[in-house]
Structure 1
Amino acid sequence: ANIAIGKGNTANMGSINMQNAKVDGKVTNTSTVKQAANIAIGENNTANMGSINLKNAEVGKTGVITNKSDIKQAANIAIGKGNEASMGSIQVE
């Protein structure tokens, strides 16, 4: 399950997300997620599992971001207001 419920919530699982990001180098994401819940409930919460998030970021020609996540039977939950739960993830802001 990968669930985002409420206002301004995001739930990312096994993904690469780029917002206002410039990449000249290499970004790699290899993720295996099994029997895992990734949930963001409430307001302005984020739950990241096995993900790479680039926000207002720049990766140069020699820059390398690599994420290899093997997540098994794990819950990743952000509940309330303005919370973030990250598991096996890379956040660049």
Structure 2
Amino acid sequence: MSGVANFLKYADCDPDPLLAPHHPQQSMSIIGFPTLRYRRITGDVSLKMRAFDYWVEELGYEELGIEELDTNPERVKAFGDHRAQVRALPMPK
């Protein structure tokens, strides 16, 4: 996670290296970790932090093993359709 910071820190001393490309999920973890720390310190998060957290949950619903607690089949299907729409959105570059 410190690769970009080190690259920028030494850019004025060593201008020839190139920043290695990264996967968008790497950026998501770099943003997500401080959000978790901020919540632990302050007890709350901003509206944008909360939106980011919800977005990550929707993208990784199955991989994160989030259990569906709703027993209403229509809502479960609607939320499943919503998650599919979120996953179909283009990833930030």
Between structure 1 and structure 2, the one with the greater Rg is 2
1 or 2 for the larger relative contact order (CA 8 Å, sep ≥6)? 1
Q: One fold, TM greater than 0.5?
A: no
The structure richer in helix per residue is 2
Q: Report the TM-score when normalising by structure 1.
A: 0.25
